[in-house]
Structure 1
Amino acid sequence: MADPTKRNGEDGREPTSSDDANLTARLKSLDARLDQATAQRTKITEAPSRSKSDSKALGQAFRLSAEFVSGVVAGGIVGWLVDHLFGISPWGLIVCIILGFCAGMLNLLRAAGLVKGARYDEKR
């Protein structure tokens, strides 16, 4: 029966310096290939810098949409109240929704920085 402590191809001889040199060269080659594979893997798996800018852009989009929607909703609520207080059924709602749309667009442009905010004049 075969000796289980011996590997395939071993004939019971001691390793020589040429075997050590060969093994060292193979280990260095393997190490270089592992470093190269690790570098490629980190390039692929590392989070790109866009993720931070994407979250900022998403936050900006939510803020701008909230600015616009709040103007329209506020106009609708005021229009509904005007309709019920004065009994001018659809006209108060229609006019105030249009005004709310305009206010929402103005707020949107101000939040985006395309229009300067209202200036407070301190001339007295």
Structure 2
Amino acid sequence: MTDDTGRGGERKNGSADSPTPEETALSARLGSLEQRLSARRDTRTAQADQPGNEGGDGAARASAMARGFRLSSELVAGVAVGAVIGWGIDQLLSTSPWGLIVFFMLGFAAGVLNVVRSAGVVPDKKPR
């Protein structure tokens, strides 16, 4: 469908004719869509404002960025603590670099285990 209107709603030939049936039908559909969208928005706003309407657990509602930072910091903390403990044992016992290597690996394993637990991948062992 080609549009033969110029600026200001006037036709190119200079006449300001009434809208075509297609334009009228389009305007009616757009108005109907706007009414349905506003009704849907009002319904969602009303449902969200009701107290006690929290669906799911707290971790599911947390933003993805905050959850990612929390999980990555748990992994990094486990590795860092393991490395510091290993370095300390190496300094005390003069076993360099074996204490650092062993405790670095143990810290990594502990960090991964903490991340898996925090992410909720491992089910609880406690019976409900």
Provide the TM-score with structure 2 as the length reference.
0.50
Look at both structures and tell me which one has the larger radius of gyration over its CA atoms: 1
The structure-2 alpha-carbon separation of the partners of 1:115 and 1:80, relative to structure 1 and needing over 3 Å to count, comes to same
Provide the TM-score with structure 1 as the length reference.
0.51
Kindly report structure 1 stretches of 4+ aligned residues shifted beyond 2 Å: 116-119
AA partner of residue 112 (structure 2): M
SS at match of 1:89: coil
**Which structure exhibits the higher relative contact order, with contacts defined as CA atoms closer than 8 Å and separated by 6 or more residues?**
1
Q: Structure 1 unaligned segments of length 5 or more: list them.
A: 1-31, 40-52, 120-124
Q: Structure 2 unaligned segments of length 5 or more: list them.
A: 1-26, 35-59
Deviations for 1:69-119, whole angstroms, at most 9, x for unmatched residues? 000000000000000010001000000000000000000000000114676
**8 Å CA contact retained: 1:110, 1:117:** no
The structure-2 alpha-carbon separation of the partners of 1:63 and 1:93, relative to structure 1 and needing over 3 Å to count, comes to same
The structure-2 alpha-carbon separation of the partners of 1:79 and 1:59, relative to structure 1 and needing over 3 Å to count, comes to same
Quote the sequence identity (%).
Answer: 46
* Corresponding residue number in structure 2 for 1:74: 81
Distance between the aligned counterparts of 1:75 and 1:103, measured in 2?
9
